[in-house]
Structure 1
Amino acid sequence: MTIEITIEDDRWAASDLSALAERAVEEVLRHVGLDPDDCEVSLMGCDDARIAALNAEFREKPKPTNVLSWPAQDLSPDEPGAIPQRPEPDFTGEIALGDIAISFDTCLREAEDAKKPFDDHVTHLIVHGLLHLLGYDHIRDPDATLMERVEVEILGKMGVDDPYMVE
């Protein structure tokens, strides 16, 4: 498994983003039946200013968000609620999945507001972002139901509480 990590905000050092990413990416890939050794993903740990600029550029939403994803392949299913397609390897046999950016500021604020451990929230967002790279989405209701269920299953295996459970 290749995870290329770029840290643009030094505050990420305290949470060991690399370790969180390795664990989350491996669990997601195994859950969907992919060999982690065959896959590569890029992850950038940034701040709200950087993610707001990216959000404006790519989604025309000039505001910060928690996580953004850029899939290398469009794997989304045609039928609402269907399982996404499997990614295709390149000529070397590697499967490039795409890029994820995650904002420290928004993650911290959301974790504090929800009274969740920061590392658990970051883990959830890495899982969420990686599932987007794998063709999962939450725009259509059946797709959202599937994606949330898969997230909860993966996070449960990792000992992270259901992020959608309201107490």
Structure 2
Amino acid sequence: MATVHIDVMINSSSSQLPDQSELEKWATAAVGEHYKEAEISLLIVDEEEGTELNRQWRGKEGPTNVLSFPSDLPAELELPLLGDLVICVPVVEREAIEQKKSLNSHWAHMIVHGTLHLLGYDHIEDHEAEKMESLETDILGQLGYPDPYQGNE
């Protein structure tokens, strides 16, 4: 199993953020056997910054729950940096309510989802989405969380 360290920067006024150990537990579960050691930078933002970053990097209006920026360091550097994640707290909080999930469960899903993106998984094509969603469901199940897609069809 990997050892994952997350460097967290908080630009959010929310008082309902998971603690460092939870973030690292969720990311570690997602990394699994892919790496022995990994590092992720996590920026936690409010809606205004989330909206700006989504516009800047994806060309889309409004905030999104998680943005993933895989590291593009040359392999010869052999650094354990997987990349950067940005999580928009108000979106995650709204989605948890809308999807009738606990906030903690949805945070776990967002960290697992974002980490899988850093590992190269995607959900643009249907077959990719099925593989990624199945992997997310398995990882979250191992962590004791329910299927994040149950009832969200």
Distance 1:89 1:50, change over 3 A: same
Given the alignment, which residue of 111, 125, 129 partners 2:110? 125
The answer as to 2:140 corresponding to 1:159 is no
Distance 1:90 1:25, change over 3 A: farther
Shift of 1:63: 0.8
- Using CA pairs under 8 Å that are at least 6 residues apart, name the structure with larger relative contact order, 1 or 2: 1
Q: Which amino acid aligns with 1:6?
A: M
The answer as to 2:7 corresponding to 1:8 is no
SS of the residue corresponding to residue 97 of structure 1 reads: strand
Q: Which amino acid aligns with 1:51?
A: G
Q: Distance in 2 between matches of 1:90 and 1:160?
A: 37
Q: Distance in 2 between matches of 1:39 and 1:22?
A: 10
Partner of 1:21: 23
Aligned identity (percent) is 36
Q: Structure 1 segments of 4 or more deviating over 3 A?
A: 87-90
Partner of 1:49: 48
Shift of 1:142: 0.8
Q: Is the 8 A contact 1:20 1:119 kept in 2?
A: no
Question: Please, which runs of 5 or more residues in structure 2 have no aligned partner?
Answer: none
SS of the residue corresponding to residue 16 of structure 2 reads: helix
Shift of 1:62: 2.1
CA RMSD of aligned residues (A): 1.8
Question: Please, which runs of 5 or more residues in structure 1 have no aligned partner?
Answer: 74-86
SS of the residue corresponding to residue 10 of structure 1 reads: coil
Q: Which amino acid aligns with 1:100?
A: L
Query: Across the two proteins, how many residue pairs are aligned to each other?
Result: 149
Shift of 1:16: 2.5
